[in-house]
Amino acid sequence: MIVKDKIAVGSLLKNDEGWTFIETLIVISIVLILTSTVGFMAFRYVGKARAVAARSQIENLSMALDTYYLDNKSYPSEEQGLASLWEKPILEPVPKKWDGPYLQKKLMKDPWGNEYEYTVPGPHGLPYSIRSFGSDGNPGGEGTAKDITSWEN
């Protein structure tokens, strides 16, 4: 004779049917509030990250310009510009000992999509200057619109 264990059936309560519509809306609202708070906090740091990227790119361009100088005994003219770090200049004075490219990639724009300003000579007796005009693309500004330069920290 085979004996089977008896399992109690019907132990579930009738009111245990799941979440109500209101409870679901409350949970969705809480998730949206938390997500938007984190999103706004992250967005605040995007501007800072772009400024750090611009500083890093300016430092890379400065190192490339210094290497260019070691090869050619002069920096590129303003007319030749930063493009001469990637391609041999065809404008006078054409460097005879150009040994580039001096950059790993083709010349980039700043993190806001603007061209870097390159001037020769630079301020404070420096041989050159490189400047990003920040998020607004205009000289001066504060916050994310502040200029980032090769001669300031």
The model's pLDDT over 16-57, given as tens digits with 9 standing for 90+, comes to: 567 788 888 899 999 988 888 777 777 778 888 899 999 999
25 part of a folded domain: no
Q: Give the model confidence (pLDDT) of 113-152 as tens digits.
A: 999 999 999 998 999 999 999 888 888 888 888 999 999 8
5 part of a folded domain: no
**Domain count for the chain:** 1
pTM assigned to the model: 0.70
Secondary element (H or E) of residue 149: strand 148-149
Q: What is the pLDDT of residue 153?
A: 62
31 part of a folded domain: no
Residue 110 belongs to domain with CATH number: 3.30.700.10
Domain range for residue 109?
49-149
In degrees and rounded to multiples of 5, residue 108 shows phi and psi of: -100, 165
**135 touches 47 (CB < 8 A):** yes
66 part of a folded domain: yes
3 part of a folded domain: no
